């Protein structure tokens, strides 16, 4: 069932509002902070008006009782449009990562006139049979271990998220555990805990758009790490193949993350894509 209530969605902008707008949509359980401020500023310095926001049940946006999400993926796609509305914008370039990449695909299908271009990072084709692609064993193991976490216990949650971040990290760069732990603690405290964010694993929706990726009209760029254990790179390749004219940038050794050492390549690819049209 789709909720009729309007959640409060918290957003933050970087750069000049007169520049072309770029909306960033993050993935499951992740607040806007998972779009690193350094990356946002890098994109803004390149001439984009960058907006990041907290999805429902994350950060400082509206939260729902754990285990009882009264909203769907379709609602989250509509949330993205409300963020644009709140900034007085009709349309924007959109970037989505992981589950946020699936929401971004849904946005591009539901609201084509509002999407100037689409970039999907570390994600999978929405509404398409991916059973023939390499399995997402890391995601399955992660979900299984998450079931044993007491999500109201700060130390347990922080330990779990840090361990998970290490498991899905780049194979090309060192993992900075101290930096990640400090970041997760910051995100936890700002969000007031992650218990409600587990609702993201129970969401349904998007059924009306199954098998319709080829209808996408937004110019599509796929960015995908070659060592991503959540969505192996074949998922990104399948998405690029499903949409006419799509391009793909592979991050060699890249995991399911926005590693500091990969941000120059990632930001350059996004900027070039926004300028291509």
**Which domains, and CATH codes, for the chain?**
11-276 (3.40.50.1820)
Average pLDDT over residues 177-203: 95
Per DSSP, what are the bridge partners of residue 224? 250
CA distance 8 to 14: 20
Q: Which of 209, 186, 20, 33 is nearest to 117 (CA)?
A: 20
pLDDT higher than 90, residue 116 = yes
* Four-residue CA torsion sign, 66, 126, 38, 174: positive
Query: Residue 25 — φ and ψ, nearest 5°?
Result: -115, 120
Whether 155 sits among the annotated catalytic residues: the reply is no
The residue annotated as part of the active site, out of 11, 61, 98, 170, is 98
> Would you state the pLDDT for residue 2?
42
Lowest mean pLDDT among 62-66, 128-132, 239-243: 128-132
Mean pLDDT of all residues in 36-44: 98
Query: 260: which 2 tokens?
Result: 């500091």
Q: Is 70 a catalytic residue?
A: no
Catalytic residue among 200, 224, 235, 256: 256
> Average pLDDT over the chain, rounded to whole?
93
Q: Is the pLDDT of residue 38 over 50?
A: yes
Q: What is the largest CA-CA distance in the chain?
A: 48
Alpha carbons within 13 A on the beta-carbon side of 192: 10
pTM: 0.95
142 is catalytic: no
pLDDT tens-place string over residues 58-78: 999 999 999 989 999 999 999
pLDDT of residue 210: 86
Mean pLDDT across 152-169: 93
The pLDDT of residue 199 is above 90: yes
Q: What is the structure's pLDDT at 18?
A: 97
The catalytically annotated residue of 54, 57, 187, 228 is: 228
pLDDT level of residue 204 (50, 70, 90 thresholds): confident
Confidence of residue 1 (pLDDT cuts 50, 70, 90): very low
């Amino acid at each position: 069932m789709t909720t009729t209530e309007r959640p409060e969605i918290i957003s933050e902008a970087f750069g000049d509002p007169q520049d072309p707008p770029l909306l960033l949509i993050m993935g499951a359980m992740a607040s806007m902070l998972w779009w690193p401020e350094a990356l946002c500023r890098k994109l803004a310095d390149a001439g984009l008006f960058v907006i990041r926001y907290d999805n429902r049940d994350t950060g400082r946006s509206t939260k729902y009782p754990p285990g009882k999400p009264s909203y769907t993926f379709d609602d989250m796609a509509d949330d993205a449009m409300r963020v644009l509305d709140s900034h007085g914008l009709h349309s924007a370039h959109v970037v989505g990562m992981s589950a946020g990449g699936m929401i971004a695909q849904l946005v591009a299908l539901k609201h084509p006139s509002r999407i100037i271009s689409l970039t999907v990072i570390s994600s999978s084709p929405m509404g398409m049979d991916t059973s023939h692609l390499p399995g997402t064993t890391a995601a399955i193991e992660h979900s299984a271990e998450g079931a044993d976490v007491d999500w109201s216990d700060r130390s347990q949650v922080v330990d779990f998220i840090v361990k998970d971040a290490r498991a899905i990290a780049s194979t090309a760069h060192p993992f900075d555990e101290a930096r990640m732990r400090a970041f997760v603690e910051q995100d936890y405290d700002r969000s007031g805990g992650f218990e409600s964010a587990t609702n993201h694993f129970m969401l349904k929706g998007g059924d009306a758009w199954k098998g319709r990726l080829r209808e996408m009209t937004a110019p599509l760029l796929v960015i995908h790490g070659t060592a991503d254990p959540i969505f192996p790179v074949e998922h990104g390749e399948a998405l690029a193949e499903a949409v006419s004219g799509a391009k793909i940038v592979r991050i060699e050794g890249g995991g399911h993350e926005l590693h500091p050492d990969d941000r120059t390549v990632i930001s350059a690819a996004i900027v070039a894509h926004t300028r291509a049209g």
